[in-house]
Amino acid sequence: MTATHSAHPRTAGQAWAGGLTVFAAVMLMIGGVLDILRGIAAIAEDDVFVTTQDYVFEFDLTSWGWIHLALGAVAVLIAFGLFQSAMWARVAGVAIAGLVLIANFLSLPYYPVWSVVMIAISGFIIWALCVSRDDQSAASAEGSPRQL
């Protein structure tokens, strides 16, 4: 006797979860590219940045440039993993978005408005990656039987 296994149709919850992962990947890619550009501008010591006196977390502008350049490059690489729906990329995406959030908080005095925008984007990325589930866990959470 032969058994046929039909594929389960995608539910609205699974589509929503996939959409959030794509959203996080796109936002992480955009944020990473912008962080790379911000890092290059800071390394070149452009006059775009404001220097403030007496800030507790004071670093040289070139140091901030290298930090943002490195975080941006890693964020872009992780975004490619998110487009492939890799679990390692979701975990790494939450971690890198958290580091980008912290770096932007610490560099608030150099470019305040953009730092606040990047903090908000990082928060949305973390939310999207923590809320979405992969297809197998979404199917099992909805009570559908697992097929072998």
One-letter amino acid for residue 63 of the chain: S
Span 55-101, pLDDT tens digits = 666 677 788 889 999 999 999 999 999 999 889 999 999 999 999 99
Span 9-59, pLDDT tens digits = 555 555 555 678 888 899 999 999 999 998 898 888 766 676 666 666 667
pLDDT band (50, 70, 90) for residue 120: very high
- pLDDT for residue 133: 64
Structure tokens at 16: 């929503």
- pLDDT for residue 62: 83
- pLDDT for residue 119: 94
pTM over 0.85: no
Is residue 138 a contact partner of residue 13, using CB atoms and an 8 Å limit?
A: yes
